[in-house]
Amino acid sequence: MLTQEDAVEIKVLARQGKSIRQIARELRVSRNTVRRYLREEEAPRYGPRAARPTKLEAFKGYLRGRVEAAQPEWIPAPDPISAIEHCMESRGLCRKDLEPFIGSRARVSEVMTRRRPLTLGMIRRLAAGLGIPTEVLIQPYPTTDHRAASRSRIKAVICRVTKPDHFSGRLA
């Protein structure tokens, strides 16, 4: 498809007496294109095309329903440890920088590995020092009881040591 300027140029060159072959060579189009534009009174104007239906058009209603059903009505707040980690990452802080807010290095490690919950004093200091909203820091989050976990590991080791070997009759 030629531009409006090219269509006008074809008509101007034809009025100047140039042949179809000369016009085609000058504008670098085929002779049939030149003939077609000379036959028409006005240059064809093409409007925007109608959108073609996509392959998923038939499923659009179903897909919208599924997406709406999957979206929660509210997005839960992040748990406190994730919020602290995000704050540390965005500000380039390390665990040592949390010691004024949480306590000793061991206490920071226990809190960040979810072995110890945040206390009210820690929450206040973190909110004041790092600007994390108290609503986020107050949220309950799962903690692991490291003493119970280590007790179960000790029991497993004891069971392995005291269990007799079935083949030889000796203790393992």
Query: pLDDT tens digit string along 31-62?
Result: 999 999 898 877 667 778 888 888 888 899 99
Which CATH number characterizes residue 115's domain?
Answer: 1.10.260.40
119 and 94 share a domain?
yes
Give a yes or no: residue 61 inside a domain: no
Give a yes or no: residue 58 inside a domain: no
114 and 162 share a domain?
no
163 and 126 share a domain?
no
Give a yes or no: residue 99 inside a domain: yes
Instruction: Say which residue the tokens 């999957």 belong to.
Output: 70
**Average pLDDT, whole number, for the chain?**
84
Give a yes or no: residue 152 inside a domain: yes
Boundaries of domain holding 11: 4-39
Buried b / exposed e along 19-41 (16+ C-beta atoms within 10 A) = ebeebbeebebeeebbeebeeee
pLDDT-wise least confident of 47-56, 60-69, 106-115, 142-151: 142-151
- Maximum average pLDDT range among 24-28, 77-81, 166-170: 24-28
The DSSP code sequence of 77-101 is PPPHHHHHHHHHHHHT--GGGGHHH
**Residue of 157 and 101 predicted with greater confidence:** 101
Give 19's contacts (C-beta < 8 A, 6+ positions apart).
Answer: none
The pLDDT value given to residue 149:
55
169 and 120 share a domain?
no
Answer for the pair 170, 164: CB distance below 8 angstroms, yes or no: yes
Give a yes or no: residue 50 inside a domain: no
Pick from 9, 48, 43, 47: nearest CA to 29: 9
Q: For residue 150, give both structure tokens.
A: 């280590």
Give a yes or no: residue 19 inside a domain: yes
The pLDDT value given to residue 49:
84
**164 pLDDT exceeds 70?**
no
| Count of domains for the chain | 3
Query: pLDDT tens digit string along 122-144?
Result: 999 999 999 999 999 998 888 88
Q: At what angle do helices 105-112 and 80-91 cross, to 10 degrees?
A: 120
pLDDT-wise least confident of 1-5, 43-47, 149-153: 149-153
Give a yes or no: residue 53 inside a domain: no
